[in-house]
Every structure is written in C-alpha cells, then in structure tokens.
Amino acid sequence: MRTIDKALKLLEEFDESRPEIGLSEMARLSGLDKATVHRMLTTLARHGFVEQNPQSKSYRLGAGILRLARIREASFPVTASIQPVLEQLSRQTGETAHASLLVGDRLATIGICESPKSTRVYLAAGQILHLHATASGIACLAYLPEDQAVRILNSGLEAFTQHTDTDAASILTQIRTARENGHACCDQTYEMDVFGIASPIFSAGGHACGAIAVATPAHRMTGQLRDSIIASVAEAACEASRRIGVEAPESFRRTVNRMVA
Amino acid sequence: MRTIDKALKLLEEFDESRPEIGLSEMARLSGLDKATVHRMLTTLARHGFVEQNPQSKSYRLGAGILRLARIREASFPVTASIQPVLEQLSRQTGETAHASLLVGDRLATIGICESPKSTRVYLAAGQILHLHATASGIACLAYLPEDQAVRILNSGLEAFTQHTDTDAASILTQIRTARENGHACCDQTYEMDVFGIASPIFSAGGHACGAIAVATPAHRMTGQLRDSIIASVAEAACEASRRIGVEAPESFRRTVNRMVA
DNA sequence: ACTATTGGTGATAATAGTGAACCGATAATT
DNA sequence: AATTATCGGTTCACTATTATCACCAATAGT
C-alpha cells in the first residue's frame, strides 16, 4: 500500500516547530510531486487529518485527529493514566520526566512533565525518539522480542550527535546490560548536553510497549544523582505499567526492589 | 485517492463502544475484501494509526494518533481552550455541555462536560454529529458559506429519529432562522429524548468552525429553561471563539447581547 | 515591468491495488 | 471424535488507480 504510506508520511512532517506547511513546501519535504501532494492533502483533509488555513492556504493537522485520540483515550486511557506518574517522578527527581510509546520502530513522546529548575531539558510535544540513540529506546529494546530488536538494529542507524553509537553489536550489548539492570542510561547520544535515564513500560505479555524517562542536563549529572534517579525511574515504570493494567514481569520487579533498597 | 479514502474510512469504524475490531469484522463493516483490509491495517499499523492486540489479534486505534493530537494541541490548543468554557456552561445550565469541530461535512465532538444531575444526556467521546440533524450542525451551517451549506443539504439527508427533518428546503429555513437568532434548537432530531441548543464557534474569516451546545433531556425542557440556556450557550460560544483567538462577528455579538439583556 | 514562486489542474504514461481461492489454526457443533 | 464454521493471514492472475509533466492564474519580490 505505497499510496497510503506516502500519504501518512506527509503527516510526519508536522511537528511543534512546523505546525503549518504549504503545498510546495510539503512537496519539497516529502520528495513527492506537487500534484500528488495536493491530491493527498485534499484527501487527508476530507477525513479531518489535515485542514487548510483559508488565509494562508497552508495545511495543518486537523480536528479529526483530536476525535480519534479521544476515542482511544476513552477506551484505553494511557496518556491520562501515566501523566500523574510523570508528575510524581518529576517532583521526586527535580528534573524533566517524559513517557513515550512504541509506534512502529520508533518511540512517540506522549507525556511530558517539565522540571521547575531554570536549567532543564526541554522536550517538544510529540517528539519522535529513535530506539538506538535514546535511553528510552534502549530500555524498550531490552524488553522486546530479540528478533525484533535485531531487525531494528540492522536497519541502518543514524548518528544524532558525536556520542551516538551506531554499531549494532555494541548496542546489543547495551541492551543486554539494560535488561540485567532494568534501566538504560544514555549520555548525549541524541541531543548534546542531555543525559537520559529510562525504564520500560510493559504491555500484557511482558514485552515493552514504551518507556518512562528522566532527562537531565548532562553537566549536572553525578554518580549519586544518577543512582537516585535510576531508582525513581524504575519505580515509576512499574507504577505506569500497573496503571495501564499490566504487572511488570517478576524479573524486572526484583531488579527494581534491589535498587530501591 | 480512493485507496487512501478506503484506508482512512477504516479508522471511522472505531468508536467508544467498539474500540477493538478483528480483521474479518472490519472487512464486513467496511464492505471491503479481507485481503484488502489486512493490507490496509498493517500499513496503518506501521504508522501508528492502529495497533494490534497481540493476544486477540484485533486492531485498535494506535499511539501515533496521540502523538499527532499532541502536536496539534501544542500549536493550536483548541481542546484545552474550550474545555473550561464547557465546564462553566455546564455549571451555569446544570446540563451536559459539549463542543464539536467541523470535520469534512460533519461535526466531531472534541469536548464534553456532563451535568451532575442523575437524569442527564450522555455523549460518547468522539461522537460524530450530522449537520442537518443536530442543533450544533444547524448553528454551524448558519455561519458557513451558503454554497457549502446547500451542497451538504443536497447530498442526501439521513433520518435518525422520527423527528429528523430531511427536507433540504425546510432545513435551509431553519438555518436562516438560526442565523438571525444566533443559535439553533433541535428537539429529538438526532436522538430520542434529547433536546439540543447550540451556537457556532467562529474561525478567522467569520465562518463557523464548530459549535458549542447544551443537551437536555427533552421532557425537562420548558420555554423558560430554553431561554436561559440559549443565553448561556450564546455567551459561551463567544467566549470559546475568543479563546481560540477569534472575535465573533459584530452581528452575532449584537444578537447575543440582546439575548443576555 | 519582469521574474520567481505560490496553490492548483488535466491528460497520458506508469504503477499500483483487488479479490477469489486457499492455508493452517482455533472454536463450536453434531 | 469427527465435522463444520470461523478466524487471521497469504497468493497470484486480473484490473484498477495513481504519478508525472506541462501548464494556469495569482501573488510576491526585484
């Protein structure tokens, strides 16, 4: 279904920093012909996935998306369940906390609670995180079926900073360590100056369906702070899983208890 | 773009009362072949629009939708802006209030605040409202370009109850009345026992982009209650428009002031 | 006044999607 | 225990849809 793929990829071009996109600009961004993009956008508009600003003629994400999100939240309230956990985690650690869910082979940020500190990590709403380059991603991979993890690691890993590890074998080692420890740490592998600590959120079946994480300015990180955040994040991950109706696997809970103690 | 149309229509089959749908069921609901539906659902899944329950193999709306909704809300916070208005409106009237936005040729409910009363109108999250059969729809049509209104009225009007008016000319009269009065009333035209009163929410350019409404059990409705709700709804509509950065047109504001006085 | 860019359109060339039949597995029925 | 029906999923011959290019009118910039 290549046509559907292309149309849905158009929606990925929108983000917090680029909420409206004109026809020609979208054609350039997507690499598709302008006529094709126009037909796709009008089709998406008919279903409420985008809407056109009548003045500027630019397109933005549509109200139909809000409707679908409400339906999902009504029957499966992940965002609402996890938000209070994020707030407590942020309060406990004094840093920015966020949660993300697995969407395809990447993570989509679905909840953020910012630290009150003046120097804090800022995260854009709906940001996409790559599995190999973020603490959330490694934590997630650690509790995914290994064949899926291997497939992702072999699909070409992008470097985002000079610290991004793009070697599949080396990341597989990180993943195994994360599985043993119940958490993952990444030092500036996705964005400079950001240190991330994450633990997986579980879905029924014991596999990860997302992650909960704390992002700290890298310069602030010390061994002691790190250990304290790790314990809080792991506990928060357990609580988040519980709130969406899943008990974290026995092995994970043991690891967490060892840390908290 | 027929393929995209079909794929996006699949998403419309989900609602609060049917949050998970299996492959064969979806094929039946959509009238498409099972093979086609399977290909479409896997494509939608790849982009996070649906996800598959690993146990039941059924499909449900995906986490990618939450991400897109957050991006839209971050740059254009309609839901967050209108929710407090709904809460005040519900408090003022003692009845269930809701807001909906124009999506294609229909309205999508994007906010609800339920009445505390024991007999109250219940609305499902993300419910779709048809323009010709609801107070919100008539209010919206009244402030849409007339050619668009006429096109919609000529596209085959479905009857939902024995009180649904499906005559285009007669609805056009209702629309004109609504434009004069700044509000619309519908007595059990969409659901039995529900009386709706609505006013339009405006977008830049003076056209309606949605509506704000109060739904009351029909047996409770009296002339006096009606007038009091109308004034509250019209004021709420003004406030809702203002909160999304649009001043309601002069003519509408005059009508509202006349009513409140 | 000219040039470049915008949003948008239409006809053919190129590529895509469709669906009946089929598979193995599970669940219900006789 | 055997039978029947349903499930999710796949295949391949057949057929439809979609992409592209050149072009238009309108607006913005030089």
The per-residue pLDDT for range B189-214, each reduced to its tens digit, is 999 999 999 999 999 888 999 999 99
Q: Beta carbon of A42 within 7 Å of strand D?
A: no
Instruction: Give the minimum alpha-carbon distance from A259 to chain B in angstroms, rounded to a whole number.
Output: 31
Instruction: Give the minimum alpha-carbon distance from B5 to chain A in angstroms, rounded to a whole number.
Output: 7
Q: Which amino acid is at B44?
A: L
Tokens 């996705």 sit on residue: A190
pLDDT < 50 positions in chain B: none
Distance from residue B220's CA to nucleotide C16's C1', rounded to whole Å: 57
Section A44-57 average pLDDT: 94
Angstrom CA distances, B105 to A115, B15, B129, stand at: 43, 18, 10
Residue in chain A nearest B14 by alpha carbon: A71
Which A residues between 7 and 26 have a beta carbon under 7 A from any strand C atom? Answer: 22-25
Q: In chain A, which segments carry CATH 3.30.450.40?
A: 76-260
Query: What pLDDT was estimated at residue B146?
Result: 85
Query: What pLDDT was estimated at residue A88?
Result: 97
Which three-class secondary structure state does DSSP give residue A154? coil
Per-residue pLDDT band for A208 (boundaries 50, 70, 90) equals very high
How many CB atoms lie under 10 A from the CB of residue B33?
A: 10
| Contact assessment for residue A52 and residue B107, using Cβ atoms and an 8 Å cutoff | no
Cα(A20)–Cα(A137) distance, integer angstroms = 29
Q: Which helix (H) or strand (E) holds A206?
A: none
Angstrom CA distances, B239 to B90, B197, B256, stand at: 14, 16, 11
Closest CB from B4, B47, B76 relative to A60: B76
Q: Beta carbon of A3 within 7 Å of strand D?
A: yes
Cα(A217)–Cα(B31) distance, integer angstroms = 53
> Is 80 exceeded by the pLDDT of residue A66?
yes
Query: What pLDDT was estimated at residue B58?
Result: 96
Cα(B31)–Cα(B196) distance, integer angstroms = 33
Q: Are strands A50-52 and B184-187 parallel, antiparallel or unpaired?
A: unpaired
Sign of CA dihedral B66, B72, B75, B78: negative
Q: Which residues pair with A202 in a beta bridge?
A: A208
B72–A65 CB contact, under 8 Å:
yes
Cα(B226)–Cα(A210) distance, integer angstroms = 49
Residues 6+ apart with CB under 8 A from A146: none
Closest CB from B44, B70, B126 relative to A110: B70
Query: What pLDDT was estimated at residue B55?
Result: 87
Q: Which helix (H) or strand (E) holds B116?
A: none
Which three-class secondary structure state does DSSP give residue A192? coil
Mutate to test the interface with A, among B33, B75, B127, B140 (most CBs of A within 10 A): B75
Beta strands in B106-193 (DSSP E): 106-113, 128-130, 184-187
Phi then psi for A37, rounded to 5 degrees?
-60, -40
Per-residue pLDDT band for A238 (boundaries 50, 70, 90) equals very high
Query: What pLDDT was estimated at residue A225?
Result: 95
Query: What pLDDT was estimated at residue A143?
Result: 95
Closest CB from A66, A101, A104 relative to B47: A104
Per-residue pLDDT band for A87 (boundaries 50, 70, 90) equals very high
Query: What pLDDT was estimated at residue A55?
Result: 87
Give me A27's structure tokens.
């054609």
Nearest to A252 by CA among A153, A143, A163: A143
Query: What pLDDT was estimated at residue B28?
Result: 95
Section A154-160 average pLDDT: 90
> Is 90 exceeded by the pLDDT of residue A146?
no
Query: What pLDDT was estimated at residue A178?
Result: 96
| Contact assessment for residue B240 and residue B212, using Cβ atoms and an 8 Å cutoff | yes
Per-residue pLDDT band for A147 (boundaries 50, 70, 90) equals confident
Helices B168-181 and B135-142: crossing angle, nearest 10°?
Answer: 70
pLDDT in tens, B66-107: 999 999 999 999 999 999 999 999 999 999 999 999 999 999
Q: In chain A, which segments carry CATH 1.10.10.10?
A: 2-66
Q: How far is C-alpha A57 from the chain's CA centre?
A: 31
Instruction: Give the minimum alpha-carbon distance from B14 to chain A in angstroms, rounded to a whole number.
Output: 8
Q: Which helix (H) or strand (E) holds A235?
A: helix A223-243
Per-residue pLDDT band for A155 (boundaries 50, 70, 90) equals confident
Q: How far is C-alpha B207 from the chain's CA centre?
A: 16
Cα(A47)–Cα(A68) distance, integer angstroms = 11
Instruction: Give the mean pLDDT of chain A.
Output: 95
Phi then psi for A209, rounded to 5 degrees?
-125, 5
Phi-psi region of B98 (alpha: psi -120 to 50; beta: other; left: phi over 0): beta
Query: What pLDDT was estimated at residue A176?
Result: 95
Query: What pLDDT was estimated at residue A236?
Result: 97
Query: What pLDDT was estimated at residue B204?
Result: 86
Size of interface A-B (CB pairs under 8 A): 194
Query: What pLDDT was estimated at residue A73?
Result: 97
B101–A66 CB contact, under 8 Å:
yes
Which three-class secondary structure state does DSSP give residue A15? strand
Instruction: Give the minimum alpha-carbon distance from A184 to chain B in angstroms, rounded to a whole number.
Output: 23
CATH 3.30.1330.100 at A2-66, yes or no = no
Cα(A51)–Cα(A62) distance, integer angstroms = 5
Section A111-126 average pLDDT: 92
Residues 6+ apart with CB under 8 A from A124: A15, A16, A17, A109, B74
Give me A6's structure tokens.
């292309």
| Contact assessment for residue A80 and residue A62, using Cβ atoms and an 8 Å cutoff | no
Query: What pLDDT was estimated at residue A210?
Result: 97
Query: What pLDDT was estimated at residue A205?
Result: 83
Per-residue pLDDT band for A25 (boundaries 50, 70, 90) equals very high
Between residues A213 and A115, which one has the greater pLDDT?
A: A213
Q: Place domain A76-260 in its CATH homologous superfamily.
A: GAF domain (3.30.450.40)
A47–B5 CB contact, under 8 Å:
yes
DSSP classification of residue A216: E
Nearest to B148 by CA among B188, B112, B106, B114: B106
Query: What pLDDT was estimated at residue B121?
Result: 93
Section A135-160 average pLDDT: 92
User: Strand D: which bases are under 7 Å from protein Cβ?
Assistant: 6-12, 16-22
Per-residue pLDDT band for A259 (boundaries 50, 70, 90) equals confident
Which B residues between 53 and 82 have a beta carbon under 7 A from any strand D atom? Answer: 57-58
Query: What pLDDT was estimated at residue B118?
Result: 87
